[in-house]
Every structure is written in structure tokens, then in C-alpha cells.
Structure 1
Amino acid sequence: MSAALFSNRWLPLLLPAPLLLLMVLFFYLPVFQSIYWSFFLERPFGGGSMFVGWENFARVLGDDEFWSSLQKTLIFTVVGSTLAVVLPLVLALAADRHIRLAHPARNVLIWPKAVAGASIGVVFHFLFNPFVGLLAPLNSWFPELWNPRLNGTDAFITLLIAHTWGGIPFNFMILLAGLQAIPRTLHQAAAMDGAGPWRRILDIQLPFILPQLFLTLVIEFTESVTSGFALVDTMTEGGPGGATNLLVYKIYVDGFKGYDLSGAATQTTLLMLLVLIFTAFQFLYLERRVKYER
């Protein structure tokens, strides 16, 4: 394979320059600014700052509300990411077997990818409304059985369902592509040896799509830590009683409503550290079990 040649030596650098500029302005600069503010006491409307060292971290780590939000974030990340990978995997396995309506179902399952997170929150907020939503008949038969507006568990379950639904399209496409890349001769040989559908899934399909499973798991774990903001903001606003106050939403409330810029920046730094730990664990431990060539 011949390498690409450019007549101008600066052209290869100019082509990715717009993307690099956007990354610096909207990712790296805010990251470094948050780390910087976490060591200073920032005034909410400007006018100077004072270096306080690790005092912001001591204040945040001593706050019970921070640990409560962190716990909810971890539960949301683990449960939501698992559901957002397992459910598309089941759908991809069904679509790959060419069952009835599998072909039109592929198109339908991809459509939600075009829906923004805030729109998903608005739709699910209406669908799970205890009075006019899909589960409203339950309240007429069993009063107060389902009420996300007052019951924290119901509200958290609604968030998980909305997050899982939003993650289905991308993960479904990745996993289905991996399944379709498996040679059909392997399925035929296994069927001739007497292997049933479940045995073929466990011994052939799942081992071959480990790279795709690892990719979707990494993306979901990373996205679920931050993508829950749009859902919380449009569905629950952290309630009821702080039951859905994920850390990413708490940072927004503390920074933009409470004007605690230093506290919000410190929590942002801790959240980035959490994401780095998750990602490092996945790449240092899980990736070792993934084989990219067979």
C-alpha cells in the first residue's frame, strides 16, 4: 500500500487544524481551567481569586451530598451501561438470525440515534407520567403504585429506561456488524456437529464479537457518566428528594445556580478522575481478554 503524498508540507497539518482547534477550545481548555479553579477560591462574578490549595477538595469530600450524588452516579453508570449493551446484544442476535420482521426492525432500531438526549428526556417524561402516561392505568387500579414525581426509585428507574433506549441504536449497529462478519460456514459446521442455537451463541458468536462488546462497553461507561445531564434536567431536575441528583447535574446546579465555581470545578476534576479510572480499568484489565484476530 503506497503512502499518501502531499505537494505542500503544511497541508497535512492544516487539514486537522479546525478539529484540533475545537478540541482545544471546548475540551482541553475547560479541563485545565477546572483543574486550576479547584485550587483557588473564585468569586462568582469575577474580580479576582485566592489560592486555597487542597481546601476545596477537603470541603467537597467532606460533603455528604457529594458522596450521595457519586453513589447514584456509580449505580446509574454500572446498571445503565450494562443494560445499554446487553439489550442491543439480544436484539442484534435476533436480527442476525433472520427471524420474521428482522430486516425492517433494523431500520426502526436505528432511528432513535437521531434523537437528542434532551428530547428523549421530554418524551419519556410524558410517557411515564403517572396520570396520563403509559402506566397511568396502574395508578387507577393500584393508587400510587407508580409515581416518578414523588417516588425516588420510580424516577431513577425512568432515567435508566430512557438512557438504555437512547443507547440502543449505536450499540445495535456495532454488534450486528460484528455478528454479520462471522463466517456462516462456522455456524453450518457447528449445526452439523449437533450444536444448538444457544451453544452456537456461547461458543461462536460471543467470542468472535468480543472486540465489539469491549468497544460498546467502553463508550457506554464513558458516556453514561456525563450524558445523564440532559435526561435529569428534562425529566427530574435531580428530584424527588435528590434521588436522581447525579454528580454531573449537581456540578451544574452548584456552578450555575449556586455560583460556587470553585466547588463545581473541584467536583468536575474528581469526575474526570473517575472517568480516567474507569477507562484505565477497562483497557488494562478487560482488553487483555479481548482477541482482535482469530
Structure 2
Amino acid sequence: MTQSPFRSRLIALLFLSPLILLTALFFYWPVAEAIRWSFFLEQPFGGGSTFVGLANFRRVLSDPEFWKSLKLTGIFMVTASVPAVLVPLVLAMAADRGLRTSRIARNVLVWPKGVAGASIGVIFGFIFNPFVGILTPLNQLWPGIWSPGTDGVDAFITLIVANLWNGIPFNFVILLAGLQALPDTYSKAAALDGAGPWRQALDIRLPLLAPQLFFVLVLEFTESIINAFGLIDTMTRGGPGGATTLLVYKIYADGFKGYDLSGASTQTVLLMILVLLIAAAQFLLMERRVKYER
């Protein structure tokens, strides 16, 4: 057994106390308050609260706008998360094979991680602007073919592309590290048997990379819901016509613009339950197929 470097548990607790305090103050306390507010009717300007039980949940669950935003959240979760894992996987495999300029690509692909989500939204809002962006020539040939300001599908596509660009760095680093940790003996043995690069990737590298793939999939599916807020707030503001109003942005709009604190808190609780269910489903359905080395 590995012995603790601390002679007393009290010393270890003192070192951990700042982290514990920050976690309790900025995570567990807000979560507890959101759960409490979901059972109360909170006044927007501190006028007291009234216990209403499950009335807030009945009101939210009977709201068509809630179900619309929940549906959009599910669509975004799938359409944005899957490419944000597949593209870094392809890039990581290319970099691991030592292709030309792969060393430069390893550094360049990590740079987007240093850009804030709100800044990414501003940049991509400019890039996909129908009048001055990269798709302006299309609008000149076919007027109105690209208009994220008025077309909900176009606006949704811009969010997906921005989320993909934002998710590449972290997933690329994790997958590349997993590939470089794989032993070369399997690939060399497969090459001697006549297996080409594609066969080696499908039959050897991907199965051995299952733990890292499972890790990034769980994180991407759960975090895409939350990370979308910065992109929505700077690119679409939930429009056009609510086409990009995901649940996380609806919570913000109801709470900070509509001053419906109880409704926003109730939707926050439902969103937390959704994230927990998604993570639990991924663990139940996928982890059993993941083999870890011992």
C-alpha cells in the first residue's frame, strides 16, 4: 500500500479545505438553492417566497415551449456531439501515423482551447454572416440560400459548426494520447499478416482506444448542453423564432429576462436530471463493452 505523505489527516484536510469550500460554495450550494426554489414561488425582487409543492413542475411540464426547447436540446446533443468526437478521432489517427506536417498540426489543433466560448460565438457569427462571411458568394449566386438570421436550420448549423470547432482541441488531445499509448506490437503483427492501415484502424486501434472514446463521448454529450449557452448568446440569442432556444438558454431567458425564478429553477432541476440520465445510460449501455487494461 502507498503511504500518505501526510502524518495527520488534519493536515491533509487543511490542504483540501480551499477546494472543498469553493466546490461547496459555487456548485453544491447553487444546486441546493435551485432544488429548493423549484418547490417555492420566489418573488423576483426579494419579496419573500411561498411553498407551492409540485405546482412549478406541473406548470413547466405543461408548457409547449419547454418541450420545444427540450427537443432542440436533444437534436443539438446528437448532431453536435457526434461530429465533435469523430473529427478529432480522424485527426488524432492522422497525427499518430506521423503524416507530413503532423507535428505542426498537433500544436495548431490545441489552440482553440484557449478561446472563450463567447469569443467563438462572435467569430463564427462574423464568419457565417450572409453578407460579409465566407458564404457570401453563395448568396450572390442564389440570393437567400444562406440566411442564419431568418432561417432556423441555417442558424442551427452555425451552432453545430462552432461547437465542433470548440470541441476539437480537448478531444484531440485525449484521443491522440490514447493512440500513442497503444503498444506497437499489435500493429506490427497485423502488418506482417497483410493488414492495411484501414484494417488496422478498425480492428486494432479503435477497440484498444475504447476507454478514451467512452470518456470523450460521455463528456461531449453532457457538456455540449451547457457549453452551447455562450454560443447561443453571442450568435443567435435563441432565434430566429426560437429555433436555437435550447433548454439552457431558455432557463437564462426565463430567469434573468422574464424574472421567473421558480420556473427557471424548476427547469434547471429537470436539466440536471436529464444530464444524469444521459450519463447513466451511457455507462449502462457502453461501459460494459469497454475493456480496460490491468
Q: 1:2: Cα distance to partner?
A: 3.8
Residue identity in the other structure for 1:52: V
Q: SS where residue 16 of structure 1 aligns?
A: helix
Q: 1:35: Cα distance to partner?
A: 0.7
1:24 is the counterpart of 2:24 = yes
Q: SS where residue 293 of structure 1 aligns?
A: coil
151-160 vs 189-198, which moves further: 189-198
Q: SS where residue 110 of structure 2 aligns?
A: helix
Structure 1 Cα separation of the partners of residues 2 and 96 of structure 2: 37
Question: 1:222-249, CA deviations, whole angstroms, 9 ceiling, x for partnerless residues?
Answer: 1111111000000000000000001000
Q: How does 1:47-126 map to 2 (within 5 A)?
A: 47-126=47-126
Q: 1:78: Cα distance to partner?
A: 1.3
Structure 1 Cα separation of the partners of residues 158 and 282 of structure 2: 27
Q: 1:201: Cα distance to partner?
A: 0.6
Q: How does 1:232-247 map to 2 (within 5 A)?
A: 232-247=232-247
Partner of 2:38: 38
Name the TM-score, length of structure 1 as normaliser: 0.98
1:137 is the counterpart of 2:137 = yes
Structure 2 Cα separation of the partners of residues 103 and 18 of structure 1: 39
Q: SS where residue 41 of structure 1 aligns?
A: strand
Partner of 2:220: 220
Partner of 2:285: 285
Question: What's the C-alpha RMSD, in Å, of the aligned pairs?
Answer: 1.0
20-29 vs 267-276, which moves further: 20-29
1:261 is the counterpart of 2:256 = no
Partner of 1:196: 196
Partner of 2:177: 177
Structure 1 Cα separation of the partners of residues 193 and 57 of structure 2: 61
Q: 1:111: Cα distance to partner?
A: 0.5
Q: 1:198: Cα distance to partner?
A: 1.1
Partner of 2:149: 149
Residue identity in the other structure for 1:93: M
Q: SS where residue 50 of structure 1 aligns?
A: strand
Structure 2 Cα separation of the partners of residues 189 and 9 of structure 1: 50
Residue identity in the other structure for 1:276: L
Question: 1:58-103, CA deviations, whole angstroms, 9 ceiling, x for partnerless residues?
Answer: 1101110000000000111111111110110010111111111111
Residue identity in the other structure for 1:192: L
Q: 1:24: Cα distance to partner?
A: 0.8
Q: SS where residue 106 of structure 2 aligns?
A: helix
Q: 1:293: Cα distance to partner?
A: 1.3
Name the TM-score, length of structure 2 as normaliser: 0.98
Q: Which runs of no fewer than 5 residues in structure 1 stay unpaired?
A: none
Structure 2 Cα separation of the partners of residues 174 and 32 of structure 1: 33
Structure 2 Cα separation of the partners of residues 8 and 232 of structure 1: 49
110-119 vs 184-193, which moves further: 184-193
Q: SS where residue 240 of structure 2 aligns?
A: coil
Q: SS where residue 170 of structure 1 aligns?
A: helix
Q: SS where residue 103 of structure 1 aligns?
A: helix
Q: SS where residue 50 of structure 2 aligns?
A: strand
Question: 1:15-50, CA deviations, whole angstroms, 9 ceiling, x for partnerless residues?
Answer: 121111111111111111111111111111012111
Q: State the percentage of identical aligned residues.
A: 66
129-138 vs 3-12, which moves further: 3-12
Q: SS where residue 15 of structure 1 aligns?
A: helix
Q: SS where residue 41 of structure 2 aligns?
A: strand
Runs of 4+ in 1 over 3 A off after TM superposition: none
Residue identity in the other structure for 1:23: T
Structure 2 Cα separation of the partners of residues 7 and 79 of structure 1: 51
Q: 1:283: Cα distance to partner?
A: 1.4
Q: Which runs of no fewer than 5 residues in structure 2 stay unpaired?
A: none
Residue identity in the other structure for 2:288: R
Residue identity in the other structure for 1:15: F
